[in-house]
Amino acid sequence: MSESAPDLAAEGAFSRAISRLEADRGGEDIFYCPRSIAGRPLAVVAGSVTSHTMNCPELTIALEGTTCIATPIRVFSLAPGQLLFVEPGVEHGGFPEDQPGRCQFLVCHFFSTVAHLNLYRTDDQLALRLVGRTNLQTIADAIGRELASRDSAWEVAVGLLLKYLVCVLERRLRQGRYLLIGDRPMAGLSATEDAWDLIERVLQYCSAHFHRPLRLAEVASQVGYSPGHLDRLFSKHTGRTIAKHLRDLRMAHAMDLLAHSRLPAWEVARAVGHAHYANFRRAFTAAAGCSPRTYRQERHRGLRPAR
């Protein structure tokens, strides 16, 4: 199996987790920690707590099992589908060793145009950076204002804002505008604003041109860097080379076309930049664990192809 397969599997896990934000929910399933409690100590809890304070809005959604989070207000026990929105400056933390039973939850941090997503599961954790031009912190701030005011129909307003947020995040996933950090949630945070801008430009160019043969030299020329320097910088902050990012992007798009279009497999190959079907078939089988034909058949039967 190729080195790109784990990235595609992780992308699918994040896509499923993000989609859960869009579910309709009432006010009893949305919890809130306002800026006004910043500086207050955590509620008294039994056991160790790994706490932190962020300078950005944070949104947590429980996906499986019970997710316990200590805050200055109280310890929240989130059931699947429930949300906790924490304003900047409020100390809070979880119980990484004491979560009851099997659990899974998604934590989203919104820094201007970059979203940091951490997917915590009982036995592992993954981190993803989604980059783009839309200012996600303004969307998160709007959610915070609705939660603070609790004006009439605030649940509806929060739901609509979450749907828009999901739309933006899923669009970035589909376009390959993400940086998969793997099992190192805090990696990549040291990137400067200039580095983030460069990475965004590279991702944007790859997203617009992956459907044709695209080489590192061309990408480097577009952003004004030497190929070697650009690839080292990109790898340092994303954990993968530009060539590997292009392979992931092409295979993810091919999977989408095979699952949701009637294009023959050879046309799918051309649509993702492969002139020769045999090369595409080998690359796809290595990434997906099965041939394009088998992948399409299993997706149409409602099965998840084995990896």
Considering Cα of 143, then 81, then 91, then 155, what sign does the dihedral take? positive
Asked whether residue 253 falls in the same domain as residue 157, the answer is no
Per the CB < 8 A criterion, the answer to whether 137 and 112 are in contact is yes
pLDDT of residue 97: 47
Spatial strand order of the sheet with 114-121 comes to 30-33, 83-86, 58-64, 104-111, 114-121, 124-131, 178-182
Q: Which of 182, 207, 222 is the last residue of a domain?
A: 182
Average pLDDT over residues 246-261: 86
Range of the domain at 214: 193-300
**15 vs 112, residue with greater confidence:** 15
User: Which of 123, 156, 182 represents a domain boundary (last residue)?
Assistant: 182
Domain end marker among 158, 182, 206: 182
Per-residue confidence band for 2, with pLDDT thresholds at 50, 70 and 90: very low
Q: How many domains does the chain have?
A: 2
Question: pTM for this structure?
Answer: 0.65
Residue pointed to by tokens 């045999």: 278
Buried b (16+ CB within 10 A) or exposed e, 188-223: beebeeeebebbbbbbbbbbeebeeebebeebbeee
Do 146 and 213 fall within a single domain?
no
- Assigned domain for 124 exists: yes
Mean pLDDT of the region 19-38: 92
d(C-alpha 251, C-alpha 286), whole Å: 10
Give the separation between CA 249 and CA 27, rounded to whole angstroms. 38
Mean pLDDT, residues 71-83: 93
193 pLDDT tier (thresholds 50, 70, 90): low
| The predicted structure's pLDDT at residue 71 | 92
188 domain residue, yes or no: no
157 & 220 share domain: no
If asked whether residues 91 and 132 sit together in one domain, one would say: yes
pLDDT band of 102, cuts 50, 70, 90: confident
Which pLDDT tens digit goes with each residue over 275-302? 899 999 999 998 888 899 998 988 777 6
Same domain, residue pair 11 and 113: yes
pLDDT tens profile 160-191: 999 999 999 998 888 777 777 654 444 444 45
Residues 122, 245 within the same domain? no
| Residue 125 scores a pLDDT above 80 | yes
122 within domain boundaries: yes
Percent of the chain with pLDDT over 70: 87
What are φ and ψ of residue 306, in 5° steps? -70, 145
Average pLDDT over every residue of 149-158:
94
Q: Write down the pLDDT at residue 22.
A: 92
Window from 7-11, 164-168, 244-248 with minimum mean pLDDT? 7-11
Average pLDDT over the chain reads: 84
pLDDT of 49 strictly over 80: no
55 plus 158 within the same structural domain: yes
Q: What are phi and psi of 50, to 5 degrees?
A: -95, 100
What CATH number corresponds to the domain at position 265?
A: 1.10.10.60
Whether residue 123 sits in one domain with residue 265: no
In a domain, 306, yes or no: no
Do 19 and 165 fall into the same domain? Answer: yes
Regarding predicted confidence, which is higher, 128 or 268? 268
| 148 and 56 part of one domain | yes
